[in-house]
Structure 1
Amino acid sequence: MAHFARPSRKTALAAATGAAALAAGAWWFTDRAPYPYAQRRLLDLQLPFLGLADLDTVLRPRPGERMLELGPGTGLQALHVAPQLGPQGRLDIVDVQQEMLDHVMRRAQEDRAEGDGPGAIVPHLADARELPFEEAEFDAVYLVTALGEIPEPERVLADAARVLKPGGRLVVGEFFDRHWIPFQRLHRMADSQGLHLLERRGPSLAYLAAFRPCATETAGAGAA
């Protein structure tokens, strides 16, 4: 009877590592933008350093504010932020995929039916590079793992700055994937669009960064 040697632990580990690398490579090269609705379940996972509590710490939502989220996906952040704006507040969401917007609104309606619904959420099918809003409409604009998926991210930052109220804030969250924007690149782009860095939290591969229009910073310095 033939005898077969069992693979060594080292060989098994190497095989497992190789399989993981192949899977990661397949994910990397098939990752598409905008994120396909068919893979929406992955969007409900809280990422390290970009969790809801982390977002609260940087975004600081307050009752009565009007906020804008770009690329809300399935609503993980939107359904968390909107209730904090209270009955007088409002969260607008912008996406290029109607399926994503419909998904968020269904979840919001389900939450309301259970008596734990968010505040007002208003969907807009639009391009984040050409926002359908007037200047100075929002107290805050935020986007989490979305900026790198949009062509011409500089234009996104420029239009976000345009719709911010004086003293408003822009929060960008990025996580390492195929569309990741390193913090130093984001900082340079923000500078070029007149946005001043307020704070950054998290390592280079997973961070949240808050900005404010530089004109506001200059005015504040002059007043002081």
Structure 2
Amino acid sequence: MPHTLPTVGPRARWALAAGAVAVAGGAWWYGDKAPYPYAQRRLLDVQLPFLTARRLDDVLRPRPGERVLEVGPGTGLQSLHVAPQLGPGGRLDVLDVQPEMLDHVMRRAERHGLDNITPTRADARELPFPDGAFDAMYLVTALGEIPEPGRALAEAVRVLAPGGRLVVGEFFDRHWIPFGRLHRLADEAGLHLGTRQGAPFAYLARFHPCPSYSART
């Protein structure tokens, strides 16, 4: 008697399909480390829970006259909020590997009458700035897109002025860095935690270069 395969009903077929999608989605979620694509830029204008402009102000504390670096500005959601607070004597540098993102930010800055934003196309693992150039630096949902986040944090320590501050914002997506991992990477780079706000899945954390570490380097 020939062997026959068991009949699979509609409900089972849906379950198998859902499982396949979950496996594929998991591979995409954990394996994709590319920068957020410009084609999906409209999603970057959505303000995420716990990562609001007010919370960023509380943690970053931008001041008039400061020079600040933003890595991974996206479409400029945070850039257009921070730059005016630096005043005409301050400057916001925005750095990204995608020229399309930088062009987008600069077009928006021009429409808003902002002339204190300077774009730079570069890799966050090799910042093209001198030591101690910035009073503050921030990355909002960008650190996890960098292939070697530890190197980016070490570069932050280098380009921050004594007493400078680094703010990292993370949200639970495919590039998310849990706070425990971030804290370990920061320790290794020579950063100590100043404050943290938000929830485990969406937080902002401020770090400062450790004076003893900076003196050794």
TM-score grouping bracket, smaller chain normalisation: 0.7 to 0.9
Contact persistence 1:40–1:74 (CA under 8 A): yes
The alignment status of 1:200 with 2:201, answered yes or no, reads: no
**How far apart, in 1, do the equivalents of 2:70 and 2:86 lie?**
13
Contact persistence 1:92–1:124 (CA under 8 A): yes
| Residue-by-residue CA offset, 1:142-172 (whole Å, 9 max, x unaligned) | 0000000000100000001100000000000
How far residue 78 of structure 1 moved from its aligned partner, in angstroms, is 0.5
The alignment status of 1:170 with 2:166, answered yes or no, reads: yes
- Residue in structure 2 matched with residue 157 of structure 1 by the alignment: 153
**Structure 2 length-normalised TM:** 0.84
How far residue 107 of structure 1 moved from its aligned partner, in angstroms, is 0.4
1:119-130 equivalences under 5 Å are 119-130=115-126
- Kindly, what percent of the aligned residue pairs are identical? 70
The alignment status of 1:139 with 2:135, answered yes or no, reads: yes
- Residue in structure 2 matched with residue 38 of structure 1 by the alignment: 39
Q: How many residues align?
A: 197
- Residue in structure 1 matched with residue 28 of structure 2 by the alignment: 29
3-state secondary structure, aligned to 2:199: coil
**Structure 1 length-normalised TM:** 0.82
- Residue in structure 2 matched with residue 104 of structure 1 by the alignment: 105
Contact persistence 2:33–2:146 (CA under 8 A): no
The alignment status of 1:79 with 2:80, answered yes or no, reads: yes
3-state secondary structure, aligned to 2:139: strand
Query: What runs of 5+ residues in structure 1 fail to find an aligned partner?
Result: 1-14, 113-117, 220-224
How far residue 119 of structure 1 moved from its aligned partner, in angstroms, is 4.8
**How far apart, in 1, do the equivalents of 2:42 and 2:150 lie?**
29
The alignment status of 1:187 with 2:186, answered yes or no, reads: no
**How far apart, in 1, do the equivalents of 2:34 and 2:140 lie?**
14
Q: In 2 relative to 1, CA 152–217 (structure 1 residues): closer, same or farther, beyond 3 Å?
A: closer
3-state secondary structure, aligned to 1:202: strand
| Structure 2 counterpart of 1:126, one-letter code | A
Displaced runs of 4+ in structure 1, greater than 3 A? Answer: 25-28, 216-219
| Residue-by-residue CA offset, 1:36-73 (whole Å, 9 max, x unaligned) | 00000000000000011110110000000000000000
| Structure 2 counterpart of 1:161, one-letter code | V
Query: What runs of 5+ residues in structure 2 fail to find an aligned partner?
Result: 1-13
Q: In 2 relative to 1, CA 203–87 (structure 1 residues): closer, same or farther, beyond 3 Å?
A: same
How far residue 32 of structure 1 moved from its aligned partner, in angstroms, is 5.6
CA RMSD of aligned residues (A): 2.5
